[in-house]
Chain A
Amino acid sequence: MAITAKATWLLPTNTENLQMVLAQGLITDASGFLGSYYKDVLNECPGYISLFKSEVPGSALKLSKSEDDGLISCIIKINLKDITLGDCIHTRCDIDDSFNSENVSPKESNNVPIPSLQGKKTDELDYESILIQAPLPLTCIEEVIFSCKADLDEFKDSSSNVGNVSTKILKCKVDKKAFQNTTAGSHLFHDSFSNLGHNPIEYNKAYSFGGLASLSFYFSKNGEESANLFNSISKFTEDESQSLEYKWIYEYFFSNEKSKLEKWNAILEILNDYKKRSDIEYKNKIIEFLNSTADTQPIAEFLTDYHRSKIEKSDTQIIDEYIEQYKKEPKVFKIRFFLFMLFYKDSIEKLIKYTHVGFREEDYVLLGMLFGMNNSFIGLPKWLVEYENLHIYISTLMANYAHKQANTGLHFKEPPKPLLLTEMLSPKKLGFIAWFGKNFDANNCFKTVMPNKVFQCDKGKSTYEGIVVPECQIVNIPFFKTMSSVVLDDKDYSRICKEYKGK
């Protein structure tokens, strides 16, 4: 069922946690935070997000500043209308009358009923607060409320001073009254709540999936094959026609069956394991894994020597050799090539700038997927996150992926997908294609097709009877060659989208 809540649901927190939520792309309980987490209600009930109806108890606001006086409280107004519920939402009962982190004294420790709201509309129930299983996507953030303008300014200022917090999607306002409630309200400091069961969420995998999906979206600029790969992965569907390498990654995320490439899943596990985005860390773990079996030790030795600048061959020579080998043996699993690239180009920015004449469309997307996994959503360049609609779209993908894997039954309606370049360049959009061809030096990437109608030659010109509209089609090879060497930042992408919508 879908919640049609008229009630306003509020999440009190602090700006440090809000920044982390924006950077990681999901509203999570405390366990989902990838960096420093500061105490607030997200730590109350593991696996759940606590929301208050209409007003926030003063004690919950106090909790959000309890770790440090310098923290700034804020209230996130949550919109639950686009959620399909499973058995993953509960209500708090009025079981206690204080909300005080310093004096937690549950009155009735084990016998508090926790009614499930499945099948019910939350606005029909007179509960002061609910618990909903984490995570929630950023589309649920309706607005953020600050107690004064100085706090709002400080939040915006400090967000601009870090590399991965984009506030573009936020609507913010100042409402002093929202922070003036001194009543205690209902709360969760009770054993029954802290033990409330939930389906564990694999946050690392969800964030990795977000990185993967975002980079596949980025490389979808290279052509239709790339766009198809992005569409497959974002719809969680397997495409039988895809390569061994794509299936390897797909199955890791979506299949419970044992893959014949399962041995190599250790590499994906390493990329998936978020701790610190240190280049050295993932490289060391890869070397450790490769050294664990005799047949992969030579790869470990090669990569170690390469890392220590002992290999005298140039990088281009090394890559050329891989490409030649895979041309001769197209069915060989290209793991050596991918591992080399993970050692050679150790950041998303460097991968994005890199081109090689021997690469195929799929190579860029697959590398993007691996690099995206390795960096997670939080490690994406800010300009990519700021692609129109990407932040909220990928956030919803991650949330749906996480809930699907955990089998919670929660599902979120997808917001508009960021526009794919190849979709924008649809055959009828002649004006836009002409603009694109001119602005990206890509006229040779298109061909014009006239309809199959009778025409006459009139003074050297082909003339048709009536109104005949030609079509412009992408010519795959030159399009790929041109676009694979173009770095499209958020300004370019916005310019393209704006022009597309205008024409």
Chain B
Amino acid sequence: MSKRKFDLPGIDELNKDQKAVLRLKESGQHLVIGGPGTGKSVVALLRARKFHQKDNYLFLTFNHVLNSSTKQVCGIELKSDTAQSWFYSLQFNLAPGNDFELKKMPHRTDSNGMEIQHSPNYDKVIERFDSYVNQKNSNLPANDTHFIIDEGQDLPIGFYESLQSLGFENFFIVADQNQQITEENSSRQELTDVLALENDEVVELNENYRNSSTIAKFANHFYTDKASPAPNLPDRPSLDTPTLYVYEMLNSCISMIHREAIRDTERLIGVIVATEAKRDTYTKILTKAVTNENINVSSYSNESKQNVNIDFSMGGVVVLCDKSVKGIEFDTVFIVLDDLKIINNDADAIKKRLYVMSSRAKEKLFLFRSAVMPNEVEGLLPIDENLMIRDKI
């Protein structure tokens, strides 16, 4: 294992759009839209560094893994949290006294009147928040906090409205509409409206820096939504045309991942799977394969909530379900297609997942598919050999 860290970008690596974002006024409301690899998270982190000394900011991410990864590699003691956890705490702390009903987050209900877990009823929350403001609740937080929100499209618009009802005014949101994977999310227009911005005030980042051209082209094959700009494809021919390996024996996949990990222990290698069962299998087999070697294999299950036991500051292999990989980047990505299924004929949903998974890779992208198990997803993969090579192992 070797140490990894967030390398500040070189001045020559930032384009004029990104530099303009870095020069945005400290106060006010800002929305930055861009596809994967366009440097959204980088500008968000650089903005956080700007506020860091003043200590008047909060960096919010959508999921625990991204929060953990960002904290570990950013090079400062980042004040960050996941948006949901922080919001539940805020609601809890604002409720006066020990009134359990008020401290409990009001949730939306389904058609049977049952509460939908983790789905706040923002209308009710806003009602409460308004009343706290009117009553001049002594627990009200200082409203000069600067919110920096990564993957802002994954949070519902009510989330932002709730914060605004408390008087918060400083928002810097980076978002990519095409990466929405939650049911409750915000469109670009909704975000623009809630921040009271004109359309021409929204900053677009278009240039892809993260991926090689072949990986970017491959990811764009799954691009389904035109509301946010697809990143421009850099003109970079690549050694790293994504490769689909059809495997007979799982061990061949494990050997390849192992080899990639041992070549450079500073590299972060992502193994992205579709289900918890697959995540468990790969984690166990890979852990066994690297016994006695200086390679770390780690994983995270959604059940672990905020206990993310992954050290993103070190190289190694990280096995994750695709719903946990948003915003994270890996040097090499192995996508296991087995168990990835099209539900209710919704091919677009799978395409979005493939788009997110494949765009996590900075340098190399490999896909694995079992030769013996039927696979529903292969039909969605590109046929063009310039986009993806098919091989057997």
Inter-subunit contact A283/B239 (CB<8 Å): yes
Q: Tell me if B249 is interfacial: C-beta within 8 Å of chain A.
A: no
Inter-subunit contact B23/A304 (CB<8 Å): no
Q: Tell me if A416 is interfacial: C-beta within 8 Å of chain B.
A: no
Which of chain B's residues has its CB closest to A34's CB?
B12
Inter-subunit contact A315/B22 (CB<8 Å): no
For residue B238, which residues in chain A have a CB less than 8 angstroms away from its CB? 280, 284
Number of A-B contacts (CB under 8 A): 90
Inter-subunit contact A276/B13 (CB<8 Å): yes
Binds B, one of A16-24, A248-256, A321-329: A16-24
Q: Tell me if A61 is interfacial: C-beta within 8 Å of chain B.
A: no
Cα distance, A281 to B262, chains bound together (Å): 23
Q: A16-B19, A163-B7, A309-B263 given as contacts; is B239 within 8 A of A36 (CB)?
A: no
Inter-subunit contact B256/A35 (CB<8 Å): no
Interface residues of A in 352-409 (CB under 8 A from B): 378-379
- Shortest C-beta distance, A381 to chain B (Å), equals 10
Which of chain B's residues has its CB closest to A154's CB?
B23
Inter-subunit contact A308/B243 (CB<8 Å): yes
Q: A36-B15, A280-B239, A309-B260 given as contacts; is B20 within 8 A of A163 (CB)?
A: no
Q: Tell me if A312 is interfacial: C-beta within 8 Å of chain B.
A: yes
Kindly supply a per-residue 1/0 record for chain A positions 158-185, scoring 1 wherever the CB is within 8 Å of any chain B CB and 0 otherwise: 1001111100000000000000000000
Q: Tell me if A70 is interfacial: C-beta within 8 Å of chain B.
A: yes
Inter-subunit contact A23/B259 (CB<8 Å): no
Cα distance, A344 to B266, chains bound together (Å): 12
Q: Tell me if A157 is interfacial: C-beta within 8 Å of chain B.
A: yes
Cα distance, A280 to B236, chains bound together (Å): 8
For residue B236, which residues in chain A have a CB less than 8 angstroms away from its CB? 278, 280-281, 284
Which of chain A's residues has its CB closest to B214's CB?
A280
Cα distance, A156 to B13, chains bound together (Å): 18
Which of B10, B16, B212, B262 has a CB less than 8 Å from the CB of A379?
A: B10
Q: Tell me if B14 is interfacial: C-beta within 8 Å of chain A.
A: yes
Inter-subunit contact B239/A23 (CB<8 Å): no
- Shortest C-beta distance, A169 to chain B (Å), equals 16
Cα distance, A281 to B237, chains bound together (Å): 7
Interface residues of B in 252-289 (CB under 8 A from A): 256, 259-260, 262-264, 266
Inter-subunit contact A307/B239 (CB<8 Å): yes
Inter-subunit contact A36/B14 (CB<8 Å): yes
For residue A277, which residues in chain B have a CB less than 8 angstroms away from its CB? 10, 12-13
Inter-subunit contact A165/B239 (CB<8 Å): no
Q: A68-B23, A309-B263 given as contacts; is B11 within 8 A of A20 (CB)?
A: yes
Q: Tell me if B311 is interfacial: C-beta within 8 Å of chain A.
A: no
For residue A108, which residues in chain B have a CB less than 8 angstroms away from its CB? none
Cα distance, A304 to B240, chains bound together (Å): 9
Q: Tell me if A287 is interfacial: C-beta within 8 Å of chain B.
A: yes
Q: Tell me if A350 is interfacial: C-beta within 8 Å of chain B.
A: yes
Inter-subunit contact A163/B10 (CB<8 Å): yes
Cα distance, A281 to B211, chains bound together (Å): 11
For residue A423, which residues in chain B have a CB less than 8 angstroms away from its CB? none
For residue A34, which residues in chain B have a CB less than 8 angstroms away from its CB? 12
Inter-subunit contact B11/A68 (CB<8 Å): no
Interface residues of A in 253-286 (CB under 8 A from B): 276-281, 283-284
Which of A280, A288, A314, A315 has a CB less than 8 Å from the CB of B212?
A: A280
Which of B12, B19, B239, B256 has a CB less than 8 Å from the CB of A284?
A: B239
- Shortest C-beta distance, A392 to chain B (Å), equals 18
Q: What are 27 A-B contacts with C-beta separation under 8 Å? A: A20-B12, A24-B12, A35-B13, A38-B16, A70-B23, A70-B24, A162-B9, A162-B14, A163-B9, A164-B12, A276-B13, A277-B10, A280-B212, A280-B236, A280-B238, A280-B240, A283-B239, A288-B237, A307-B240, A308-B239, A308-B240, A309-B260, A312-B259, A314-B262, A350-B266, A378-B12, A379-B10
Those 5 A-B pairs whose CB atoms lie nearest each other, nearest first: A35-B12, A163-B8, A70-B23, A164-B10, A280-B212
Supplied contacts A158-B22, A280-B363, A281-B236, 13 more A-B pairs, CB within 8 Å = A20-B12, A34-B12, A161-B46, A162-B8, A162-B14, A163-B8, A163-B9, A163-B10, A164-B10, A278-B236, A284-B238, A309-B256, A344-B263
Which residues of A line the B interface, CB within 8 A? Answer: 16, 19-20, 23-24, 34-36, 38, 68, 70-71, 157-158, 161-165, 276-281, 283-284, 287-288, 304, 307-309, 312, 314-315, 344, 350, 378-379
